[in-house]
Amino acid sequence: MISNGNEIGKLTLLSIVWLTIVFVAVWMVTWAVGILLPMILSNSLGEKALLINEILCFLTPVLSILVFIPINAMFMVLIERRALALFTVRKGPNIVGPDGYLQTAADAVKLLFKEDITPTGADAFMFTLAPIVFFAPSIFGAVPLLAAVTNNHGLFQVLNLPTGIFYVLAAASVPVVALVMAGWSSNNKYSLVGGLRSAAQAISYEIPLVLSIITICVLAGTLDLVKITQQQAGGILNWNILGGGALSGIDKFLAGTVTGQPVGNILSTCYPFSGLSYLAVGALIISTIIAFWLYLTGACAEINRIPFDLPEAESELVSGYNTEYSGIKFAIFFLAEFTNLFVVSSIATVMFLGGGDNPIPVWILDSIAPLKQAIALLNDSFLVQTLHLVNPETLFSTLWVILKVYSLVFFAILIRGTLPRFRIDQLMDFGWKRLIPLSLIVFIVVVFARGLVICHG
């Protein structure tokens, strides 16, 4: 039998290596285009470089996304295959490159060079357009998230929209149109059934997903993703998953207790209505935890992850909507599916898990002298002062985002390796009879409970 401990070690090392490659590559491109090149142009051309630098300012986030998506998708495909192998006590891909590190790169090359076939009787224009429409929202939908997950870094401030979350949700509703196009234009009955299933599934599960997001927007009082993350700063007690800062009074009480400051009547000041306020805090905590799970469930259904992969359902529909696709068109569908998984995990991180905020409360971090000294040394380093290569706030924020997002990705992989697929009637019943009523109840409870909690952070 394969040693699970050995395989877990290999999986961990693979993740560290690939994530380093992904984010170093993305940051080097971002730094070169957004900081280094404008610096060189300003020194050599002076005011003449202003227009070029403005163009580079808008190009930087776009290039960072275009570099990130293909490399990240290759990593996610590989980590899913290796993780599923671990769950089922197999080795997984381990031949191409050192311990299989280059397997998905080889698969990508293979798909790019395979013959692109259009079936007889298919609508060639719609058949070609479908993967493009499916993939495009993966790029544009992630745009406002960049500012939120990088602690509003100067290179990405241009992407910060006042209604950022609505923009993301609007972009997320487009891919289902592409799946229906792909199913209908393929001239294949299995593909058509897959496309129609995706439409029915999207209508059913988009309602609880959007309601769970709106619930958090009500808690935050804004649709701005950056402001939502900033409101959760200060540790896990201020995250939306714990009631949108409803526990900030307890956070202040603990801070005063640990640091030796007079705590006085902190709790009674933060929750002045006594028992009623504490009841509201409890309702917010329970409601936001339920909203979190509603979001995860709806998101899995929206991106057709098991157990909601009815539009593909290999055992019933061959491969569903993409049965007739091959070569680069199939690769685009594959690329978009894993990118969508990353995007929905990023939304969950920003809306529920504090974005790039450190889960350790500030009053604990302030007492760790070596950490403060390390940050001070980093701030004074050559990389920061001269090259502007590293921004400490963005660096630590990004590291926490990576940990949270890929933890959710790994959880989605675990679900795939654990749960069986729904039947189509079970899927529709679960959405309409359970998730939608529950999401409405949660929304109403949060609206009333929020009004009773005076202190929000």
User: Does 39 share its domain with 157?
Assistant: no
Residue spans of alpha helices (H) in 303-368: 314-317, 327-351, 362-365
User: Does 282 share its domain with 166?
Assistant: yes
Nearest to 321 by CA among 141, 126, 120: 126
Q: What is the pLDDT of residues 208-229, one digit of tens each?
A: 999 999 999 888 888 888 888 8
User: Does 104 share its domain with 121?
Assistant: no
User: Does 175 share its domain with 93?
Assistant: no
Strands (E) in 181-316, as ranges, are none
User: Does 421 share its domain with 436?
Assistant: yes
> CA-CA distance, 96 to 342, in Å (whole number)?
25
Mean pLDDT score of the chain: 81
Stretch among 58-67, 246-255, 273-282, 372-381 having the lowest mean pLDDT: 372-381
- Whether 342 is covered by a domain: the verdict is yes
Output the pLDDT for position 1.
Answer: 45
Q: What are 326's two structure tokens?
A: 């091959």
Return the sign of the alpha-carbon dihedral for residues 160, 164, 168, 173. negative
User: Does 390 share its domain with 405?
Assistant: yes
Helix (H, G, I), strand (E, B) or coil at 353: coil
User: Does 294 share its domain with 151?
Assistant: yes
CB 65 within 8 A of CB 339: no
* 43 sits in which H/E element: helix 37-45
Q: What is the pLDDT of residues 301-334, one digit of tens each?
A: 888 888 888 777 777 777 777 888 888 888 888 8
In terms of residue numbers, what domain contains 49?
1-109
Residue 232 clears pLDDT 50, i.e. is over it: yes
Q: Phi/psi class of residue 455: alpha, beta or left (left: φ > 0; alpha: ψ in -120 to 50)?
A: beta
User: Does 313 share its domain with 195?
Assistant: yes
pTM higher than 0.75, yes or no?
A: yes
- Whether 457 is covered by a domain: the verdict is no
- Whether 357 is covered by a domain: the verdict is yes
- Whether 82 is covered by a domain: the verdict is yes
Q: What is the pLDDT of residues 144-159, one digit of tens each?
A: 888 888 877 777 777 7
Q: Give residue 382's pLDDT band: very low, low, confident or very high (50, 70, 90).
A: low
Q: Choose one of 82, 109, 136: the last residue of a domain.
A: 109
User: Does 67 share its domain with 209?
Assistant: no
User: Does 378 share its domain with 344?
Assistant: yes
> CA-CA distance, 102 to 97, in Å (whole number)?
5
- Whether 138 is covered by a domain: the verdict is yes
Q: What is the pLDDT of residues 386-405, one digit of tens each?
A: 556 667 677 778 888 889 99
User: Does 97 share its domain with 124?
Assistant: no
- Whether 300 is covered by a domain: the verdict is yes
Q: Choose one of 63, 80, 109: the last residue of a domain.
A: 109
Q: In whole angstroms, how large is the CA radius of gyration of the chain?
A: 24
Half-sphere exposure of 35 (CA within 13 A, CB side): 19
User: Does 403 share its domain with 337?
Assistant: yes
- Whether 404 is covered by a domain: the verdict is yes
State the total domains in the chain.
Answer: 2
Q: Choose one of 84, 109, 134: the last residue of a domain.
A: 109
